[in-house]
Amino acid sequence: MPRLNTEWSADIAEIRRLATERTGPFDDAFTRRFAQHFPTLHPLFAALYGHRDDGLEQLAAVVAEAAASWNSRPDTLKAHDDERESNPDWFLSNRMLGGVCYVDRFAGSLAGIRDSIPYFQELGLTYLHLMPLFESPEGNSDGGYAVSSYRKVDPALGTMEELANLAADLRRAGISLVVDFIFNHTSNEHEWARNAVAAEPGYEDFYLIFPDRTMPDAYELTLREIFPEDHAGSFVQLPSVDGRPGRWIWATFHHFQWDLNYANPAVFRAMAGEMLFLANQGIEVLRLDAVAFIWKRLGTPSESLPEAHLLLRAFNAVLRMAAPSLLFKSEAIVHPDEVVQYVAPEECQLSYNPLQMALTWDALATRDPRLLQQALVRRHALPPGTAWVNYVRNHDDISWTFADEDAAEIGIHGYPHRRFLNDFYVGRYPGTFARGVPFQDNPKTGDARVTGTTASLAGVEAGDPGGIDRVLLAHAIALSTGGVPLIYLGDEVAQLNDYSYARNPDTAGDSRWVHRPERPADLYAQREDLTTAAGKVFTALTHLIRTRKETPEFAGGRLSGFDARHRSVLGYQRPGATDAAARILVLANVDDHPAVIRATVLAGFEAGAIDIVDGERVDLAVGLTLPAHGFVWLRVVPLA
């Protein structure tokens, strides 16, 4: 087999011939899409695999996979593709609202999720992220993040057919279905994993398996330990065979999550096939799990290497051929400089915003919004056609991924500051309002992360008088900085930590289960009762959600800072300073005491402003007092 040429034009005819040999002639639409996206795909594929003798054959196999997938894509989804292509910025709308939950914990099964659609509509969701729902090992499967088959739904939850029907029902309700695509690793029970261990032809190189510790030791010199409570380092030993010591396999996360080897183009093709399959079930967004880890190279941390980006771009090009409306959301919980590298229309159109999330908690603990303010001014902007997913917390721990160099500029030392935040949020700091639990305490490095529900971290569990207001303040920030706000379902009714995980052997070793409780039916029943925490949070939060949906200034992600000249007040304007017209000014007080903002600070605006949350007129000429943990969303008009 010949290698790939350096010019796409030299290979296009041959690739098309080889692909159609497998799938039959391309239809008109696919012919058009192939012609449009092949010039993008070819050089990416060549950069990754051009040195291999099977490069051309492998690329033809990828194109054949795409053509076959297009042929079986349901017409309703093709119509949906057209709709999205005519409105590519749909996810930048201020009407967007995300929710995330575990299928079993929130609703028992996919059928239960379908029955919850009226509630999702009541809340205003337009985006529903269902946590991993594929077949995975019995017992501990890292909450389903160890996938044994991407084409089978966990039988306890339902079937693939039900998932496709649910996607259609949700779409009719105006809700896009999002699922995890756990593509850095599979479970050790995946058919590919079994075949690889058995050295079945074609599967030997699907994972990274080494005969002894030589290579693992060499790699580990520069790798970070991710789950040190599970196993030291990034490799685990396979059982011994015929009395010989077991080989070593790359496992970044748990010992049963084996990293795929993307240096093998057969892995790329196989995973492209799985993505396309899910796209054809009606999934609209794939949350790309652990995206930073997908490419490894000796002598490097093997995180966020340039090839990771080439892979994402290549996957995008394949998708644009055969499932054009599918989007990627990046899960990169790394240094902020690296997080943004994944966010591009050609890579991940959506991305978690772990920095804003962590720094919101930082501001609440320190009563000092400077790090968050700096991040909003400096690190919030994204390329057109992309958006942050802004969340208060998710199913994972909070890791303090701010940039030490940013912190140093305002006199904050990264290392002791992270220690303080950990102590504060796990309840070890005197006077703390938080009731979190440590996750992956690493005595070697002093590193740790924090888990807990929003209400427990914010002080509701501890009975702190500011607890409920902090829950609302944190959400008010996530709802007003642009992109897609994402609520962890249960947080909208102030759900507290659930310590029962510690009694279940499958979850006891992973403290993240403390903030993944079952759907709190009792709290949902109280959601209109203003004498309860659930009712207070739900009523206020749903009012903010409705307000956001009526506020066009909240569309997109454009934002500029506003210096409120007060040590506890965060300030920003939406959409931003370049518009002369009205805009929304957000002011948020993270302190436990009221904050008085002087009239001179607001003198750049016309005196008459509107508080869009309560609809009242506000006279800026007299200054503004924010209560403890209070905030305002003001429509203001800058003076000419």
Is there a contact between 517 and 455 (Cβ–Cβ < 8 Å)? no
- Beta bridge partners of residue 8, listed in sequence order: none
Minimum Å gap between C-beta 541 and ligand GLC is 24
Of 254 and 269, the one with the shorter C-beta distance to ligand GLC is: 254
| Measured distance CA(511)–CA(514) in Å, rounded | 6
CA-based torsion, 231, 236, 238, 240: positive or negative: negative
Is there a contact between 136 and 147 (Cβ–Cβ < 8 Å)? yes
> In a 10 Å sphere around its CB, with 0-12 CB exposed, 13-18 middle and 19+ buried, how is residue 505 labelled?
exposed
- 3 state DSSP class of 151: strand
Of 253 and 420, the one with the shorter C-beta distance to ligand GLC is: 253
Minimum Å gap between C-beta 64 and ligand GLC is 30
- Beta bridge partners of residue 241, listed in sequence order: 244
Of 283 and 468, the one with the shorter C-beta distance to ligand GLC is: 283
Helices (H) and strands (E) in the chain, counts: 21, 25
How many C-beta neighbours within 10 Å does residue 262 have? Answer: 21
Of 189 and 423, the one with the shorter C-beta distance to ligand GLC is: 189
Minimum Å gap between C-beta 100 and ligand GLC is 11
Cα-based distances in Å from 79 to 115, 282, 324, 325? 26, 12, 11, 10
Minimum Å gap between C-beta 128 and ligand GLC is 17
Is there a contact between 519 and 490 (Cβ–Cβ < 8 Å)? yes
DSSP 62-78: HHHHHHHHHHTS-HHHH
DSSP state of 154: -
Asked if 529 is an active-site residue, the reply is no
Residue with nearest beta carbon to ligand GLC: 145
Of 145 and 572, the one with the shorter C-beta distance to ligand GLC is: 145
φ/ψ bin of 102: left (φ > 0), alpha (ψ from -120 to 50), beta (otherwise): beta
Minimum Å gap between C-beta 394 and ligand GLC is 7
| Alpha-carbon torsion angle 139, 145, 148, 153, nearest 10 | 90
Of 145 and 268, the one with the shorter C-beta distance to ligand GLC is: 145
Minimum Å gap between C-beta 109 and ligand GLC is 21
| Measured distance CA(456)–CA(514) in Å, rounded | 10
Phi, psi (rounded to 5 degrees) for 450: -125, 140
Which residue blocks in 426-551 are alpha helix, DSSP H? 454-458, 467-480, 521-525, 533-549
Q: Which residues bind ligand GLC (CB under 6 A)?
A: 142-143, 145, 182, 253, 289-290, 331, 395-396
- Residues in contact with 389: Cβ distance below 8 Å, sequence separation at least 6, in sequence order: 98, 329, 350, 351, 352, 353, 483, 484, 485, 486
Minimum Å gap between C-beta 557 and ligand GLC is 23
| Measured distance CA(364)–CA(606) in Å, rounded | 31
Of 181 and 633, the one with the shorter C-beta distance to ligand GLC is: 181
Minimum Å gap between C-beta 112 and ligand GLC is 22
Tokens (6 digits) for 194: 């079994």
Whether omega before 575 lies within 30 degrees of 0, making that bond cis, reads yes
Asked if 289 is an active-site residue, the reply is yes
Pick the catalytic residue: 303, 331, 397, 423? 331
Minimum Å gap between C-beta 8 and ligand GLC is 34
Cα-based distances in Å from 263 to 205, 269, 331? 9, 11, 21
How many C-beta neighbours within 10 Å does residue 138 have? Answer: 7
How many C-beta neighbours within 10 Å does residue 276 have? Answer: 23
Of 274 and 553, the one with the shorter C-beta distance to ligand GLC is: 274
Minimum Å gap between C-beta 257 and ligand GLC is 6
Pick the catalytic residue: 135, 274, 284, 289? 289
Residue with tokens 């034009």: 9
Residues with a known catalytic role: 289, 331
